[in-house]
Amino acid sequence: MRRPSALARLAGTLVAGAVSALFLYPYLWMVSGAFRSTREILSAPLRLRPDTPNFDAFRSILDAGEVPLLRAALNSLGITAASTLLAVAVTAMGAYALTRRPDAMAFRVLRAGFLLSMMYPYMLLVIPVYIVMYKLGLLGGYTGIVLFLSLGPVQFFLFEQFFRTLPPEVLEAATIDGATERQMLVRIVLPMATPVVATVATITFLLNWAQWFPVLIISATPDTYTLPVALLTLSGELGTNFQGIMALSLVTTLPPALVFLVAQRRVMGGLTEGAVKG
Amino acid sequence: MNKSLLLLFFRKEALSSFRHDAVFYLFALPFASLTLVFGLWPILLSVQVSFTASATALQPHPAWVGLGNYSAVLADPVFLASLARTLLYTVLAVTANLGFALLYALLLDSSLIGRGRTFFKLAVFLPVVTPDVAGYTVWRWLYDQSFGALNAALKLLSLPGFGGLASPATAMIAVLLAELWHHAGFYVLIFLANLALCERSLAEAAEIDGARPWQRLLHVTLPQLRPAIAVNLVYALIQFLKTFTAVVVMTKGGPAEATNFVSYAAYQLFDQSEYGQATAMATVLFAIVIVLGLGSYRLTGRAA
């Protein structure tokens, strides 16, 4: 194809660069806001480099209001890790069974029911979930939060997609050798599934770290709040402690941003596949 | 064969197939339990509550009111205004997001971009994996009249100020821009994945035949992007019909109801213990999501 002129290529790069700068600017502004005093910001809202880096905000949010920062951070880590592990185990086994026996009536019903519940608007599902948690006595504890966060459509589609591509000959050979289904899953299928397990785990971590509404609804006290929920309640409470709000936003954003930058190919590939094949 | 023998035969058949599949039922048990308890039960409960009086909804023997909550919701001018607003916002947001995503993906995929393609892709995708509460919190302050960078920048360029979230006239646009920042990277990614599969030789042949760039785009590239357009359209419709977090973090439905979309209105009713009407509203929104989602899915035909 005809090669575009140098001028056209420069223009294209400039446009893409400008769009990228606009998308990244909020991050720079957030980071700078976390280290600049409120007075400094009011006098020059646009500046990114602080005159004198100021760490007051991190001290002020450590024990601001009802949620101690450390507790919220530990909650975030614990709830995200536990729900990710559970999501991977439960969805992998479920999707495996459903792809191995696609014609079993019970599994057809299960798949349809699962898809229906994933289509139901999330924030509207969470409202009746409050009633379910109440009936099960799970309100206010970690168990309810972790269990609810362990079910998601992307995870299911990625596993289902992978298990459908398993070569039937491999499974047949194993059956002839007298392997039981459990041995087959543990010794043959799971080792082959390592990459997709890693992808699903990474994506689940990113998605569940960001969850706030179910956590807020199932929590009875701020003791089980995660970082996003703490940020939401604190930004009302802190009022115009702009610096504190930016510091807490930064703490909330940093872990998933780092995980994403390290595993970007896996994450973007997995999300594309989960969306298109679903 | 008499009836009881027939029954026995079937039971035996079912039993042996069950025994054969038993291990798979065991594998699927945790998944099935979670789906049942945290997926289907809440939905059924939600539909059930929508037929009961709010005050008794959580009691063991709720008072049934038939379609009372639905007729109350559908006759409520606040809900109808909120529904109209939600539909308007959805049309604007879907158009803006998919339009931007398509143009940006076409640019990144073109020979105009040499180096930096990965960086340009990462820059718009990072907001997708940024916790939405944190992203929208930062945006709320970017729009702020005294702290915000946006108005400071406009002032620097001697442009008129932007009302942002504070003015009823601009609040919806302000929410839309913040949501575009958070979601568009995903649509860009889907378009890029589709573009990578496009047949380059077709565009080249069209160029040799003298087709102008916009003709190539319209008649060669866009038809090949049909699968990505279908997927993005369905996802974006569902996404923006349900706009919620951005409203909770940035506007609380204000100013002057300008961003009070249906999901937020339903949540407010729930918060006021109006469980019956809240779930009726939720069920209406669910019906709209299903109809529009399936409709656009049929219309664009993903098999293409």
Q: Which structure tokens are listed for B148?
A: 């915000």
pLDDT, position A22: 95
> What is the average per-residue pLDDT within A39-53?
71
Structure tokens at A17: 């660069």
Position B271 scores a pLDDT of: 85
In angstroms, the CA B247 to CA B47 distance is 25
A170 confidence band (pLDDT: 50, 70, 90):
confident
B64: which strand partners?
A: B52
The per-residue b/e assignment along B197-228, b for 16 or more CB within 10 angstroms, e otherwise, is ebeeeebeebbeeebeeeebbeebbeebbebb
Chain B CA closest to residue A148: B38
What pLDDT is recorded for position B303? 45
Q: CB-CB: which of B35, B120, B241 is closest to A114?
A: B35
Token pair for A54: 């100021």
The CA-based dihedral angle spanning residues A32, A35, A39, A40, taken in that order and rounded to the nearest 10 degrees? -50
User: What tokens appear for A170 in the block?
Assistant: 């491999």
- Residue A66 or A74, more confident: A74
Residue A33, chain B, CB below 8 Å: the answer is yes
Contacts of A128 in chain B (CB under 8 A): 41-43, 45-46, 49, 279
CA distance A65 to B23: 51
Summarize pLDDT for A191-217 with one digit per residue, the tens. 899 999 999 999 999 999 999 999 999
The predicted pLDDT at position A51 comes to 67
The alpha carbon of residue B57 is apart from the nearest alpha carbon of chain A, in Å, by 10
Span A119-141, pLDDT tens digits: 777 767 777 888 899 889 999 99
CA nearest B137: which of A23, A234, A39, A260? A234
Q: Please tell me the predicted confidence (pLDDT) of residue A65.
A: 59
Are B46 and A29 inside 8 Å of each other by CB? no
Give the count of Cβ contacts less than 8 A between chain A and B. 277
SS3 A137: coil
Closest residue by Cα to residue A63 from A244, A232, A215: A244
What pLDDT score does A33 carry? 86
The pTM score is 0.90
Asked if B114 lies within 8 A of A13 by C-beta distance, the reply is yes
Angstrom CA distances, A85 to A54, A208, B6, stand at: 38, 11, 47
pLDDT band at A104, cuts 50/70/90? Answer: confident
Give every CB contact of residue B239 below 8 A, 6+ residues apart in sequence: B183
Helix (H, G, I), strand (E, B) or coil at A122: helix
Residue whose C-alpha is closest to residue B92's, from B6, B198, B177: B177
Structure confidence by residue, pLDDT tens digits, B7-41 = 555 565 555 556 667 889 999 999 999 999 998 99
A234 or A239, higher pLDDT: A234
